[in-house]
Structure 1
Amino acid sequence: MFSVSDAESLPDSRNPSPHRFTDNTESIFDDAVYSSQMTLKECLDECMEALDLFLNNHFSESLERLRPRVNESMYHALIYATVLEMQAMMTFQPDDISNAGNTMKSAQEVCQRFRRKSPGLANKSAGESLTEVQLHAEVCYAECQLQRAALTFLQDENMVSFIKGGIKVRNSYLIYKDLHTFIKSHNCLKGSSHVHLEGGISFGIGAFNLTLSLFPPRILKVLEFAGFSGDKEYGLSLLHDGATGVNLRSMLCALLLLCYYTFLTFILGMSLLHVLNILAFGVISLCYQAIALFEDGCKAQQAWKQFHHMCYWELMWCFTYKRAWKMAYFYADLLSQESRWSKAMYVYMKAAYLSMLPKDEARPFGEDEVDLFRQVPTFKQKIAGKSPPTEKFAIRKARRYKAPHPVKLPVPVLEMMYMWNGFSMISKRPELTEGMMQTLVEAEQNQYSVDDRCLIHLLKGLCFKNQGLLQAAEECFNKVCSSEKKIKFDHYLVPNSLVELSLLYIDRGRRDEAIKLLHKTKQNYKDYSMESRTQFRVHAALAKLKADPGDDEDTRL
């Protein structure tokens, strides 16, 4: 199984590829020796030092420490390429993405030279004779495959590239799966560098289990035919083990946990706080801590401005929660000028903040919300061949300003805040919820369409829920559902109101009613805005209630 590759030939040493790493160190490889100049342990120790530099904001120094040995050390090659890939994903510049892809391809070629030439762990006798270096080469090769797949999805939009990326993902998965089985059955393998090997396997198996577990059951069943499976709790436990250990993949495990807890679940538990401590208060950790530290995150370093954008995004929402529309606009404006990730979203938010200001109040920089709303569609982009759902939503909402006489959106900031789960974020701050309720009551005084009134009912219901007024919240959600046949455009309002109503029922101990509503949402509503987000919430709620078919099946790798 380990002989499976993506059929890319190694470069001829007499005619090196232009994509190869460039330095003057001669590459010497031997099955019995890891590096012509350094042992495996020495290479791992130097790479750990380079990672420490990176985590403490010394980005250039980190790359300089790694660069001299990228042609002779698989770990130097992998970590160097990983840093460039992180940079590419933040800048979203085509040249950076291309350079990172070529660098990761070269790293994979370096790893390939240390792999066993005959079939690996699929063959028991061959597996028994694998050296420590060859085991490390397998996990490094699998990681290169996985990261190259991520870049493929980010860079290319055609179906051929998408299939190639899928093949890389599957090859990586099979290698991790066999390695995991092999290591568990060979407890005697405890070399000096074993902790790094275990960390790499924990990252790979943990990432696959967690990611796959998030898919709805019907999609997961299809993936299972291709040999994939996922167990969320098992994946989280492996990532936690990897993040809390002292190994090269600690940072990757920690970052994946951060993404899961902050962006996918919005649940900041004690386990997350422990993960934050791992990152040693570098700029990455600053970006995920309390509001007071976001500005410190910007001050911590100036080399990679993209880290600032993470802070700008969070600061934008912090000021949104406080209804400081001009300050929120300021950070949306910075993002629209500096970040390439989602200009359509940033411009939409700029327009939305301006629309929340009184009609006679001066606009910053003399900008006009109508003009900005009309610009939103021009910034549409695709990632992995598809437009991000939030961009599609923003573009659709901005269409109301296309006509000569625009139809004003009632509370566009609060609507988008809901899409990013902002009402849950302020649930423990009564004064913030009260402010949002005040804005909604004021908006309610205007003459709006059925769609707009239903939006206000949905958002008021969330405020009532935060205030503990559950009966009032239920009435608001039911008002939206009873208006279903009158809604013309914002069809997402009904399935989302059903989800909110079901979550309210869960809080009130009405489990059976909640399950019924969740299944109704899942089965009866299709092709509405942000559907994947809503279906994800339905799946998560049903899984929590153990009501989804197949919940009790063992899906662990």
Structure 2
Amino acid sequence: MSDTDEQAVDLSAGLDNVQIEDTENDNNLGVKGIVLLLNNHWDESRELFEKHRSQSLVMHFGGAFVHVLQAIMALEEEKIAAAKVGMEDVEKKCRESLHQMKKQKKKSKGTQSDTAGQEDRWMCQIIIADSLLFQAVMTFMNQDIPSYMKGGWLLRKSWKIYEKVHKDISEHYDDSRKNGKVKVRADSTSIVDQVDKEEGANGEPKIGKVAEVPAAVGSAEGTAELMTKETLSRLLGAVSFGYGAFQLALSMLPDKVLKLIELIGFHSDKENGLKALEFSMHSKDMRAPLAVLTMLWYKVLLKPFYTETFQDEELKEVTDLIEQYQSEYPESAMFLFFKGRVCRLQKDLDGALAEYEKAKELCEGLIELRNGAMFEIGWCNLMKLNYDTSMEIFSTLLESSKWSKCFYTYMVALCQGSKGAVDIASNLMKTVPGLVKRKTNQIEAFVSRRAQQFKKIKLTDTLCELLILELIYMWNNLSQCSRKETDKMLAICGAVEEKKFFHVRSLIEGAIYRQHGDLEFSDQCFKEALARHEGLKYDYHIAAHALYERGNYRVQNGEKTEEGKKMLLKAKDGFKEYDFENRLNVRIRALLSTLDGQTKK
């Protein structure tokens, strides 16, 4: 799909540039609310959406989305629960509206008094699908089996709606591109009603394939309305946001969730998702700037987190995208976050810190955004081995953030120990296990187990530094460090004397030598990590990652591809219930998928 020039919308950054006429419709009001949000005017954005929520489902949804975004950024259970209730209320209101449209249609059958047209019906269905998608995302954040089941069921319902509405609007839009306008009949049966009939409005997931979407549900008796290409383009932009985000999110889910989702009937198509998001980005729907954020989230945050390489052309594409939209949102802290991540991908940690400092200044009064900027500043300093600054940042977050006191205490302990205050670090380590809020939180479970090891092992400054390097590696961030920094890291590894951590040391050394281009010696380090882990009843994440690295080296080399695939599959399936399992499995699946694609070509 193209026609981007016709669809492009001026989402100007400054408040003075947001020109809305007295006759502005719901979508234009929604655009204004999103522009306010992206320019850090969160309160004004909330007030605008709240003011119009009772008269407009679009604005009701926009207001609920603001709370969802805040909740996800804060990672606080109370805010997530409240945001979920808000989205459930949006879904309920849209269902009530669809019911009223259905009643009105029956009363006006055969007349021209059916004022609720197909545009309104489609928009209601899109908002319901969006609300189900966001409910699923927040449900998955609980990271337990019941939540995966419930989240999968919500995704299934959401997908059925997206697929049907996207198909219908696409067909009409293609016709309108030829003629400028097209006749559209109001649906006699809503896809939402069909989904409820198949799934139950409050049921549990059913096992089996998703039923094929009907080719058409329009009624010959319904009143036909003329719909312009511009209207259909905006509607297609609206549904393409969720349709595309859904596909991208699905492609990055861990195996245990993905198997469940594939079991209940659908598969992801990443390329199709990217195309849909790109169309939404250039549409005039209020979701257009959200599609831009989602595209950047995938390309700058998610993809580098799970993959080893980031091509130069990809980096240029992302940089151009950020520059294009930052000119429209010069006050947006969110775009500064993305610029900071691009700097990290370029191994420019000083440049990244400069962007995050700017973002922090723009976030005054916005706790979630400010804490996010501070975390990035602390983490970049950690990658630079600046323990004093990192400790100061993580100590502040320990006091100000409600997210994981357990993790922040662990980070402060490591920084204290790394700069020589080992007694303070040891005392802090003792408190870490007692700060775990939920055992299903994988990060808290990991740092708790690490902290408990020091009941029997004496903590030293070198061990604290090694465990910082372990975190940098597990976050897939070693590739973002300069040669100067990785040389210092090698020196730290060489100073480790505690034999019970030699397997960790070997893994980190292997990863650093890989960064330096010494691939054969790197492979020997990973082999040593596996050998040193043999017989241990803990730290299976070290063995799994070492095996992954050995397999990755072989498939990338191209000479021992089959041997490498066997290693990757063993890393994926040979270890169970270890730390960071979900992350590694997604990386392995992405690598194997790439290899399969190359083989087919």
TM-score (norm 2): 0.74
Q: Structure 1 residue 171 and structure 2 residue 218: aligned? A: no
Contact 1:72 1:110 in 2 (8 A): no
Residue of 512, 520, 524 corresponding to 1:463: 512
Give matches, 1:89-108, under 5 Å. Answer: 89-93=72-76, 95-108=78-91
Is 1:434 aligned to 2:487, yes or no?
yes
- 1:328 is matched with which residue: 390, 413, 430? 390
Residue 265 of structure 2 aligns to a residue whose secondary structure is coil
Higher helix share: 2
Could you list the per-position Cα deviations for residues 95-117 of structure 1 after superposition, in whole angstroms to 9, with x for gaps in the alignment? 54444334333333332344265
Residue of structure 2 in register with 1:417 after alignment = 472
- The reply to whether residue 370 of structure 1 matches residue 426 of structure 2 is yes
Q: Which amino acid aligns with 2:262?
A: E
* Contact 1:243 1:278 (8 Å CA) reproduced: no
How far is the alpha carbon of 1:310 from its aligned partner?
1.5
Aligned equivalent of 2:131, options 144, 168, 178: 144
Corresponding residue number in structure 1 for 2:171: 185
Work out whether 1:111 is the aligned partner of 2:157.
no
For residues 385-400 of structure 1, the aligned pairs below 5 Å read 387-400=440-453
Q: Distance in 1 between matches of 2:517 and 2:421?
A: 34
**Amino acid aligned to 1:133:** D
Q: Is the 8 A contact 2:76 2:403 kept in 1?
A: no
Note closer, same or farther for the CA distance 1:216–1:319 as it changes in structure 2 (3 Å cut).
Answer: closer
Q: Is the 8 A contact 1:145 1:171 kept in 2?
A: yes
Q: Distance in 2 between matches of 1:103 and 1:214?
A: 26
| Change in 2 beyond 3 A, CA 1:488/1:222 | closer
- Give the share of equivalent positions with the same residue, in percent: 25
In 2 relative to 1, CA 102–358 (structure 1 residues): closer, same or farther, beyond 3 Å?
closer
Q: Shift of the alpha carbon at 1:476? A: 0.8
CA distance in 2: counterparts of 1:94 and 1:202, whole angstroms: 29
| Conserved 8 A contact 2:152-2:261 | no
Q: In the aligned structure 2, how far is the partner of 1:105 from the partner of 1:373?
A: 41
- 1:353-392 per-position Cα deviation (integer Å, ceiling 9, x unaligned): 12212368xxxxxx8111211111222123xxx6222221
Aligned to 2:190: none
Instruction: Provide the rounded CA distance (Å) in 2 between the counterparts of 1:471 and 1:165.
Output: 44
State yes or no: 1:521 paired with 2:562: no
Q: Secondary structure at the match of 1:240?
A: helix
Distance 1:165 1:506 in 2: 35
**Unaligned stretches of 5+ residues in structure 1:** 1-37, 120-124, 361-366
Q: Does the C-alpha gap of structure 1 residues 465 and 154 become closer, same or farther in structure 2, counting only changes over 3 Å?
A: closer
Following superposition, the deviation at residue 249 of structure 1 comes to 1.2
Measure how far apart 1:212 and its partner are.
2.1
1:63 Cα deviation after fit:
1.8
User: What is the one-letter code of the residue matched to 1:475?
Assistant: Q
How many residues are treated as equivalent by the alignment? 490
Matched, 1:56 2:105: no
* 1:274 positional shift: 4.1
Q: How far apart in 2 are the matches of 1:193 and 1:136?
A: 11
Contact 1:216–1:539 at 8 Å: present in 2 too?
no
Q: Is the 8 A contact 2:170 2:236 kept in 1?
A: no
Give a deviation string over 1:273-303, Cα, whole Å, max 9, x none: 3443435240111122231110100111323
Bigger drift between 90-99 and 136-145 goes to 90-99
Secondary structure in 2 matching 1:546: helix
Alpha-carbon separation, structure 2, partners of 1:211 and 1:99:
22
Which residue is 1:14 aligned to?
none
Question: Which residue identity does 1:457 align to in structure 2?
Answer: S
> What is the root-mean-square deviation in Å for CA atoms of aligned residues?
3.1
Contact 1:400-1:406 at 8 Å conserved across structures: no
1:392-431 Cα offsets, whole Å, 9 max, x none, are 111110002335x7455461101111111121222xx221
Please give the secondary structure, in 2, of the residue aligned with 1:529: coil
Contact 1:66 1:76 survives alignment (8 Å): yes
Q: Report the equivalent of 2:596.
A: 546
2:325 aligns to what?
A: 278
Could you tell me whether the CA contact under 8 Å between 2:148 and 2:257 is conserved in 1? no
| 1:3-23 alpha-carbon deviations (Å, 9 max, x no partner) | xxxxxxxxxxxxxxxxxxxxx
Indicate the residue corresponding to 2:403 in structure 1.
341
| d(CA) in 2 for partners of 1:194, 1:441 | 63
TM (norm. structure 1) is 0.80
1:363 counterpart residue number: none
Deviations 1:38-94 (CA, angstroms, capped at 9, x unpaired): 97x611111211211111111111122222210111111110111122223333455
Does the alignment pair 1:493 with 2:476?
A: no
Cα drift, residue 503 of structure 1: 2.1
1:269 aligns with 2:303: no
Matched residue, 2:224: none
**Counterpart Cα distance in 2 of 1:399 and 1:216:** 27
Q: Determine the structure 1 residue equivalent to 2:69.
A: 86
CA gap 1:220/1:61 in 2 versus in 1, 3 angstroms: closer
Amino acid at match of 1:418: Y
CA apart distance, 1:500: 1.2
Taking structure 1 as reference, are residues 73 and 329 closer, same or farther at Cα in structure 2, changes over 3 Å only? same
C-alpha contact 1:244 1:278 (8 A) present in aligned 2: no
> Would you say 1:315 and 2:377 are equivalent positions?
yes
| Unmatched tracts of structure 2, length 5 or more | 1-21, 104-108, 111-115, 177-226, 305-309, 341-351
| Alpha-carbon distance, 1:502 to partner | 2.0
Q: Which amino acid aligns with 1:349?
A: M
Cα 1:245/1:227, change in 2 over 3 Å: same
